[in-house]
Amino acid sequence: MAHVAANLIDKEDSKEFADLLTESLGGQEKFTGNVVNGTVIAVDAEFVIVDVGLKSEGRIPKQEFSRPGEDPEIKAGDSVEVFVEKMEDRNGESVLSREKARREEVWIELEKSHKDNDRVTGIIFGRVKGGFTVDLGGAVAFLPGSQVDIRPVRDVSPLMGNPQPFHILKMDRSRGNIVVSRRAVLEESREEAKSDLLDTLKEGQVIQGVVKNITDYGAFVDLGGVDGLLHVTDISWKRVNHPSEVLQIGQSIDVQIIRFNEETQRISLGMKQLADDPWKDVADKYAVGTKFTGRVTNIADYGAFVELEDGIEGLVHVSEMSWTKKNVPPGKIVSTSQEVEVMVLDVDAEKRRISLGLKQCQENPWATFAENHKVGDLIEGEIRNVTEFGLFVGLSDEIDGMVHLSDISWEDQTEEILKGFTKGEMAKVKILDMDPGKERVALGIKQLSEDPFEGALKGLAKGAVVTCTVSEIQDKSIEVTVNDGVTGTIKKADLSRERSEQRPDRFAVGEKVDAKILSMDKKTRKLSLSIKAREIDEDKQAMKEFGSTESGASLGDILGAALQEKEGKDAQEAEAKEEKPKKKAAAKKADSKKKADEEPAEDKEKADASEDKKEEKAEEKPKKKAAPKKKADKEES
């Protein structure tokens, strides 16, 4: 009985203890995995001792009671919420966590902020792969690198350890993942500031900004919520090769709003507009023809830029660098930062351009040569180059003259004549023309001798009829020579007045023909002739001398009448000639009659017979001459 009574007492005591334990735990039925209230019993260097009403106290690391970068503010007697991981460990101590308790509290608040799209405050305290870790008051979130700022940030150290506003992009409580963004907050703030700023902006306004980014073509400046572009040409009046020469990221600068497009919200900025324009009086200060000393700032393929003063640059074109060096890169004549003397050639203040000359400050070898020589002088020089269009002959150490292909020989003006010349040999030439302004000296070799063509042309003129010798027969023309030196061409259509006779094959090489000169080409040294033109001219002359066609007579009738008239004149001349022998014969007959009276009758008869024969012969001669003319008359008719 005593044993049973003892058991009943133990059961009652156990029940009372359970009731007391339940009461002390505030009615919580379960400890493990829950957040409970505890009291800080003691604080040492590493741990905080917390009593949550279990059989034993729990020890929590001291750093769990502080935020990153801050010292823990905890002391004995403080009431705190902790998370019970285990009722007791192998040492009999309760396993508690302040961080997990805080995380549970924070998760509830963060879920509410995420649902309401509110901002949360966090501290960037670590770097991980692809981004950073952020403490959101006990809950650790991930901040991707692309969400740190609107533009890529090279150095985030100024942002670490400082409270920053964030937006929650994604939450997963089961996995304990939170993704936040600082960029979303900045964009919202920027849009708010941008709308306020755009309402106040106007062209010509001077405003302060911060250089946010630098490119090859300029710099982007943050004006306080909106960015503007500061082009490289608007940074300074002087040449700026790259914006980084003048600006740095993060630098505060004063800029002027040059252009503002309200529709596209693009803002163009300028720095040089805040300073005086050095081009204002440039035309008066840099007069054409004056010489200045400047510094080479940039070299391009087409020339070099020379700085005359801050903000004033001029261009020395490659053609104005040297009197003698042609097609040479400017970099081989001048170098960057070199001090050079230049002459002002032209000033265009509106286009902000100054043309400079380098060679004008040096002696002009072309002008010097022109002063010491005149057209017609004979000189000897070295052949420095042989090209397809002529020869270049050295006139001095610096300049060359050119002998054109057409001025090498009177006879041969083809490229074959160039094979007789080699680079480096000496050649005697004659000065034909000099132009120092264009830097040219024209030379000639054929002018050293007389032109054989000019001699052969003596006595020849356009429209003259000449006797030619056929030298070559071609399909559509014949080649002829005149005066044993001048060549000419008679085209097929000019071979005859009659179309049927316009055949080159009816002529033979060596045959002599008469033709009229149509033209004389001194350049090709050839004549153009025509047999047809000569025949037409002869017909016109005959019509002019012997009649006209107005009466209706044909050219054959006119020529026939002319031949008959000519034949009549010839007959009269023949009769006149015939009367002379008859008179002589009559005189001789009278003399012989006197003698006959003295001579015998036989001798008288012989003399009479001899005289009769002479008379018959004198009558036959004019008849024979007239016979061919009558025959020609018949053929003409």
Same domain, 178 and 258: no
Whole-Å CA distances, 347 to 282, 311, 321: 8, 15, 18
Same domain, 512 and 542: yes
Same domain, 47 and 111: yes
Q: What is the DSSP letter of 131?
A: E
Instruction: Identify whether 4 is part of a domain.
Output: no
Same domain, 112 and 53: yes
| Three-class DSSP category at 172 | strand
Same domain, 36 and 86: yes
- 152, amino acid identity: P
Predicted pLDDT at 604: 43
Bridge-based pairing of strands 218-222 and 227-231 is antiparallel
Q: CA–CA separation, 282 vs 348, rounded Å?
A: 9
Lookup: tokens for 321: 């660098």
Same domain, 526 and 573: no
Predicted pLDDT at 608: 46
Q: CA–CA separation, 44 vs 41, rounded Å?
A: 10
Q: Secondary structure of 184-205 in the HEC alphabet?
A: HHHHHHHHHHHHHHHCCCCCCC
Instruction: Identify whether 306 is part of a domain.
Output: yes
Same domain, 113 and 124: no
Q: Which residue's structure tokens are 């010349």?
A: 421
Q: Pick from 531, 527, 497, 526: which is nearest to 511 by CA?
A: 531
DSSP letters, 520-558, are EETTTTEEEEEHHHHHHHHHHHHHHHH--STTS--HHHH
Domain boundary among 65, 83, 117: 117
Same domain, 34 and 113: yes
Instruction: Identify whether 494 is part of a domain.
Output: yes
Containing structural domain, residue 619: 555-636
Q: Pick from 369, 526, 378, 521: which is nearest to 447 by CA?
A: 378
pLDDT tens digits along 562-586: 556 555 555 565 555 555 555 555 5
Q: CA–CA separation, 9 vs 15, rounded Å?
A: 10
Predicted pLDDT at 579: 56
Predicted pLDDT at 595: 46
Predicted pLDDT at 179: 92
- Is residue 79 a contact partner of residue 35, using CB atoms and an 8 Å limit? no
Predicted pLDDT at 231: 92
Cβ-based burial of 424 (10 A; exposed 0-12, middle 13-18, buried ≥19): exposed
- Is residue 404 a contact partner of residue 390, using CB atoms and an 8 Å limit? yes
Listed in sequence order, the residues at least 6 apart from 627 whose beta carbon sits closer than 8 Å to its beta carbon are: none
Query: 206 - beta bridge partners?
Result: 256
Same domain, 389 and 467: no
Q: Which residue's structure tokens are 């008066």?
A: 284
- Give the up-direction half-sphere exposure of residue 435: CA atoms within 13 A in the CB hemisphere: 7
Whole-Å CA distances, 191 to 146, 196, 516: 19, 9, 97
Instruction: Identify whether 193 is part of a domain.
Output: no
- Is residue 503 a contact partner of residue 474, using CB atoms and an 8 Å limit? no
Q: How many domains, in total, are found in the chain? A: 7
Instruction: Identify whether 3 is part of a domain.
Output: no
What number of other Cβ atoms are within 10 A of residue 133's Cβ? 16
Q: Within the chain, which residues score under 70 in pLDDT?
A: 1-31, 33-34, 65-71, 87-90, 92, 97, 99, 452-459, 484, 546-637
Predicted pLDDT at 566: 54
Lookup: tokens for 402: 């050119």
Same domain, 163 and 173: yes
Predicted pLDDT at 138: 73
Same domain, 518 and 587: no
Q: CA–CA separation, 604 vs 598, rounded Å?
A: 9
Instruction: Identify whether 9 is part of a domain.
Output: no
CATH number, domain of 233, equals 2.40.50.140
The torsion angle over the Cα atoms of residues 286, 291, 293 and 296, rounded to 10 degrees, is 80
pLDDT tens digits along 93-127: 777 767 677 777 778 788 888 888 888 888 988 88
Lookup: tokens for 627: 């016979």
Q: Which residue's structure tokens are 């006197």?
A: 594
Q: Which residue's structure tokens are 């009229």?
A: 516
Q: CA–CA separation, 589 vs 472, rounded Å?
A: 66
Q: CA–CA separation, 430 vs 365, rounded Å?
A: 19
Same domain, 90 and 33: yes
Instruction: Identify whether 171 is part of a domain.
Output: yes
Instruction: Identify whether 8 is part of a domain.
Output: no
Predicted pLDDT at 616: 46
* Helix H or strand E segment including 346: strand 339-348
DSSP letters, 488-501, are EEEEGGGS-SSGGG
Domain boundary among 274, 292, 309: 274
- Is residue 172 a contact partner of residue 216, using CB atoms and an 8 Å limit? no
- Is residue 269 a contact partner of residue 209, using CB atoms and an 8 Å limit? yes
Lookup: tokens for 120: 């949360």
Domain boundary among 159, 187, 215: 187
